[in-house]
Amino acid sequence: MRNGLIAAVVIVLIILLQGSIYVVNEAEQAIVTQFGKPVSDIIEPGVHLRLPFIQGVNRFERRILKWDGDPNQIPTKDKRFIWLDTTARWRITDPLLFFKTVATERGAQSRLDDIIDSVVRDAVSGNLLVELVRGDDYVNPADKEVFEVDDEVITSDELRGREQILEGILAEAGSSTPEYGIELLDVQIKRINYIEQVRTRVYERMINERNKVAAQFRSEGEGEKAEILGQMERELKEISSGAFRKAEEIRGKADAEATRIYADAYNQDREFYAFLRTLESYKTTITDRNKLIISTDSDYFRYLKDFK
């Protein structure tokens, strides 16, 4: 009987000891509650004690947590509807405050749904579609574009980029989370899907921008081509002019040499030279198809008359 009582006491002590000892690992942070009310500060990782059956341990993640919103159809400032899917990263910085305000991670996710979705909707509806899809370092190679929205004229230089919009979303949404013991670390646009009408316009815009770039390159190429052709034409004229000048010089020298030879030949025997030149002219002037009418006293007829 006595041994049984000792065994029962030992078992009870073991149960009480197991219920009073708990371990918090490095990826967790915890608070102790008594009858549902917090009674301790943040519990750091390690081995700790509690009152069994009276106190409970509420564990929370110390690591960064993920939030994914539901895709929503939101109109942009220029009245174009898009499907927007966002994601965020957050962590619990004050477990005691977190427990008092949202209690669980599911409650925190629900509260983040309200905060982030509202801020994202306001940001999308307050900016143009082109601002949501372009980066901050985007440079339009064409001329400045002008957008007219509700009688407001906006030039491409005044447009913001997606990164700036996300920074604004993070700052505004992050200012509302500390009251729940939450730090919002990052908000990103995970996906943008356009409705069919908007998708067609976006494709047309992309095509037009690429056509402008292609036209600019073609214009620059035509300018380079004209410059090269002009240079080639000038060089060709210089070569042709030089060749013509050289040919004329050679032809002039040849004509002078021929004239000199003719003059020498003429001076050696003028009568024979005149006779020879006259005979050569007979070959071209007297044919079966020609009729030559001259007087008998003509010098041209003199050799024919002498020949007879």
Residue 13 has a CB neighbour count (10 Å cut-off) of 10
DSSP per-residue letters across 148-214: EETTEEEEGGG---HHHHHHHHHHHHHTTSGGGTEEEEEEEEEEEEE-HHHHHHHHHHHHHHHHHHH
**CATH architecture for the domain at 65-194:** 2-Layer Sandwich (3.30)
Best CA proximity match to 123, nearest among 158, 90, 171? 171
> CA-to-CA distance for 215 and 207, rounded, in angstroms?
12
Mean pLDDT value of segment 278-301: 69
Where are the chain's structural domains? 16-61, 65-194, 272-307
In the chain, what percentage of residues exceed pLDDT 70?
Answer: 72
What pLDDT band is residue 27 in, cutting at 50, 70 and 90? confident
> CA-to-CA distance for 284 and 294, rounded, in angstroms?
16
Judged against a pLDDT cut of 70, whether residue 145 lies above it is answered with no
Which residue blocks in 37-104 are alpha helix, DSSP H? Answer: 95-101
Mean pLDDT value of segment 292-301: 66
pLDDT in tens, 154-178: 655 567 788 889 999 999 999 999 9
Which residues, including other chains, have CB under 8 Å from residue 43's CB and lie 6 or more apart? 24, 29, 30, 31, 32, 57
In the chain, what percentage of residues exceed pLDDT 90?
Answer: 19
Bridge partners (DSSP) of residue 58 are: 31
Quick one: 288 exposed, middle or buried, by C-beta within 10 A (0-12, 13-18, 19+)?
exposed
Q: Which residue has the tokens 């898009």?
A: 82
Judged against a pLDDT cut of 90, whether residue 112 lies above it is answered with yes
- First-to-last C-alpha distance (Å) of the chain: 184
Who has greater pLDDT, 1 or 219?
Answer: 219
